[in-house]
Amino acid sequence: MPQLPNKPTLANFQQYVSELEMERGFHSQTTIDKCLLLGEEIGELFKAVRKTEGLLIDSHSNFTEIGDELADIFIYICAIANRKGIDLEAAFRAKEEKNKKRTWNPA
């Protein structure tokens, strides 16, 4: 079973996800598979948020905690990045450098 170190880096998370996918038999899923599964998890996050905000929900739906859904989404993001050979930390830093040059107009 893969283990995360204390205070893991993004690279540690990506490696962990790679190892857990091998262990659990998900390594052969394609990027498209992972993107579709990510979309489903985002929908589950929205349902969990609706529930916590007291909005109308389908009483027959199964709900989990927002934290659980965010963790699932993070796992899929790591899996997609791994399939595309993307270092998430480097991508984040590069994107933030671009964002620093933008003009932001909050609504």
* pTM given for the model: 0.90
Please name the residue ranges forming H helices in the chain: 10-24, 31-52, 66-83, 88-100
Residue with token string 């927002």: 66
| 52-92 pLDDT, tens digit each | 998 887 777 777 899 999 999 999 999 999 999 999 999 99
Closest CA to 62 of 77, 72, 47: 47
pLDDT confidence of residue 18: 98
Closest CA to 45 of 23, 85, 26, 53: 53
**CATH number for the segment(s) 10-100:** 1.10.287.1080
Amino acid at the residue 28: S
- The full set of domain ranges for the chain reads 10-100
DSSP state of 6: S
